[in-house]
Structure 1
Amino acid sequence: MSNGFGGEEIKQESSWRYPLGIFMATLVLCAIFLYYYVGPSVDDFSGNTPSPAITEEPVRVEIGGITFSPAANYTVFPRARRGGARDEVVLYALWPTMNGYTPAQRREFIENEPDSRRIDIVISKSSSMFSERDRFERLYLPETLDQSGVRTPYQLTKFNFREQRSNVPTNGYSDTELFVGTDADENLAAIFCFKELDEVKSPECWREYEYGETIEVSYRFKRPYLPEWQALDAAVRKFVEGLDQTSVTAGQ
């Protein structure tokens, strides 16, 4: 600070102040940019981003009054590994061994290949007032082209739905085929499969069935394994039953 003409005080500012301010502003903007593109998202913090686990530590999850205890390497989302009460738990396993995630099998679990052996399993609270048989008889069958269906070589009857057209409303099933059979417990099994079309790169099949009075289980698998559906279905149901700690405790 010095005196100028007329005795006025003149303040001398440091030459590095403005460059430093620009540098700090640029640094903050870069940090925000990096966080936005590569930093954890809200879903990451809440555990809603799929992330495999290698530990086999059991996790206790309570759904609809039933306690299930899958190993952590069967869980898809980190939130499930916190345990406690949940509306659903999403799991995966490899067919036919039904083992959980391992780094050596990462490709099978992570990639969506047409012949992937991964089975996706969701255990959730019941949300439908209809049983699997009721859904078939009341909802699906009336929408098929031929209610007699066509027999297949693998103990299933195939049903086709109306094709989707721009001027005709559809039932929402037009891109799928329905296969109906009887599982090992003599229950009706209704299995939907996406049609094998060029635009469907990795077609899947799925079934949803009741587990007790409060739980429903749905599972998905790749269409090439449809001929093995009976063994696959039995393996999934045995797997889910093995996770049920409530029934184990009651049997002791």
Structure 2
Amino acid sequence: MSREREIHQHSGWLVPLGLFGVIAALSGFFLLYYLRPPPAPFRDNRPTAAATMVHLRVRGISLHIPARFIEARAIRAGGDRDTVSLFAALPDMRGYTEAEDNLFAGNAADSPVVHVLIRADANGMDAETRLARIYMPYIAEAKGEQAPFGLTRYAFRADSGYGRNDLYVAKTGGPLLLCEQPAQDLPSPNCLAIDRPIAQGVGLTYRFKRAHLARWQAVAAGVNRLISDFRK
């Protein structure tokens, strides 16, 4: 009888724990899938250099964005959206121009283009919570190791779904940076600044090339400045 009670007690917390793990994994896969460059046949590769102001809303957050910063043609119609995808080029976070069409369309390892995603997210977590709940269970060494650029590097276990990535955490606060490891089959690796809340029910994620990891603070400041300008 005591054995049956023990099994029942264990099953009571295993079910919600398993459900949380599934939700977290699906959220991570969504972001990685959405922010990676899509195959050419499916890419909306018709940006505009127009400075026309587009008025958008994501979960009640009003955004006023020049059309040249908006990737998807459909989003330039404005209105209520669950996701808004933007792009801008380093170092000054400038929008698309016809003169730089090849630069914005390219996927070179040192491409200066930063891709930004604003999306409705009712389950957003701050960096500290996300690190503890989502990533630490898969980290090989909990202490991490000192890395350049004011970052701590965490290596994932090889048997985890993140085995081909490195996780970088700022020592003085900042975004979590999930960076693809360079490989023969991945010559142009990205770094993903993981989803963080910018308002109730709204999250921000952005992607840039790993070649610019040394500039992560400038990239973060540039993205934050853009979002601040677009919310005015």
TM class by shorter chain equals: 0.7 to 0.9
Q: Which amino acid aligns with 1:61?
A: L
- Whether 2:154 is the aligned partner of 1:159: answer yes
Q: Which amino acid aligns with 1:54?
A: A
Name which of 216, 227, 231 aligns with 2:214. 227
In the alignment of these two chains, the number of paired residues is 191
Partner of 1:93: 88
CA RMSD, 1 decimal: 1.8
- State the TM-score, normalized to the length of structure 1: 0.72
Partner of 1:205: 191
Residue 64 of structure 1, CA deviation: 1.0
Q: Deviations over 1:86-120 (max 9, x none)?
A: 00110000011111000111111001111100000
Name which of 225, 228, 239 aligns with 2:226. 239
* Contact 2:45-2:105 at 8 Å conserved across structures: no
Q: Among all aligned residue pairs of Structure 1 and Structure 2, give the percentage whose two residues are the same amino acid.
A: 28
Write the mapping of 1:1-252 to structure 2, written as runs, cut at 5 A.
49-164=44-159, 170=160, 172-182=161-171, 187-207=173-193, 208-245=195-232
SS in 2 for 1:205: strand
CA 1:222/1:129 → structure 2, altered by over 3 Å: closer, same or farther?
A: closer
Q: Which amino acid aligns with 2:178?
A: F
CA 1:187/1:210 → structure 2, altered by over 3 Å: closer, same or farther?
A: farther
| Alignment gaps of 5+ in structure 2 | 1-40
In structure 2, how many angstroms separate the alpha carbons of the residues matched to 1:142 and 1:238? 33
SS in 2 for 1:211: strand
Q: Deviations over 1:53-83 (max 9, x none)?
A: 0101110000010111110011111111110
Residue 188 of structure 1, CA deviation: 4.2
| Alignment gaps of 5+ in structure 1 | 1-43, 165-169, 246-252
In structure 2, how many angstroms separate the alpha carbons of the residues matched to 1:226 and 1:136? 19
Q: Deviations over 1:216-243 (max 9, x none)?
A: 0100000010011011111111111110
CA 1:93/1:54 → structure 2, altered by over 3 Å: closer, same or farther?
A: same
Partner of 1:21: none
